[in-house]
Amino acid sequence: MYEEVFEGMNYTNQEIADMFNKTFDEDYYEDNSQDLVCVKDIEVFSYCEHHLALMYDMKVSVAYIPNKKVIGLSKIARIADMAAKRLQLQERLGNDIAEIIEMVTDSKDIAVLIEASHSCMTARGIKNAGAKTYTQTLRGRFKTEPELLARIR
């Protein structure tokens, strides 16, 4: 079981990028394009590095503005899944996914939104069953152009 759920710990972000580096060159994507690619509600789970508690009902949304190449859509989900298969913090997970997507696509314009329940909040401690945690990792134009972020929500 541990080999499966912690498989991502065997790989660096660069190795995950190399593993899922299947892109397609697309000449029609110009600099400053308003086109974007977004895959929403990728279901993953992870374990909190502080409590070894399950992070569940986790939904990851990844968006990027293509920079002359696009990644295979299933690879986005595979990257999110492999990055989650580590002892993680939700905040770091967003950064890891963004970093890997940047390595594969050469895009600097990336957004990763994550919603999750944490059993360290729901099953122990405060025991607030309805609590959810939302994080967003924004890079490039997603930081400076709020209308882009609004397009993926």
Specify the pLDDT at position 27: 66
pLDDT digits (tens, 9 = 90+) for 81-121: 999 999 999 999 999 999 999 999 999 999 999 999 999 88
Q: What is the mean pLDDT of the chain?
A: 92
Q: Write down the pLDDT at residue 32.
A: 54
- Give the residues across from 56 on adjacent strands: 117
Neighbouring C-alpha atoms within 13 Å toward the C-beta of 43: 2
Specify whether 38 is catalytic: no
What gap in Å lies between CA 90 and CA 118, rounded to an integer? 9
Residue of 14, 30, 51, 91 marked active site: 51
List the catalytic residue out of 88, 99, 102, 118. Answer: 118
Work out the average pLDDT over 128-147: 94
pLDDT of residue 29: 60
Annotated active-site residue 50? The verdict is: yes
Any catalytic annotation for residue 49?
Answer: yes
**Model pLDDT, residue 33:** 62
- 120 carries an active-site annotation: yes
Please compute Rg for the chain using Cα positions: 16
pLDDT grade for 148, boundaries at 50, 70 and 90: very high
Active site residue 136: no
Q: Given 48, 115, 136, 145, which residue is catalytic?
A: 48
Confidence band of 69 (pLDDT split at 50, 70, 90) = confident
Active-site residue, from 3, 4, 50, 147: 50
Asked if residues 71 and 23 have their Cβ atoms less than 8 Å apart, the reply is: yes
Catalytic residue among 38, 120, 136, 145: 120
Is pTM beyond 0.75? Reply is yes
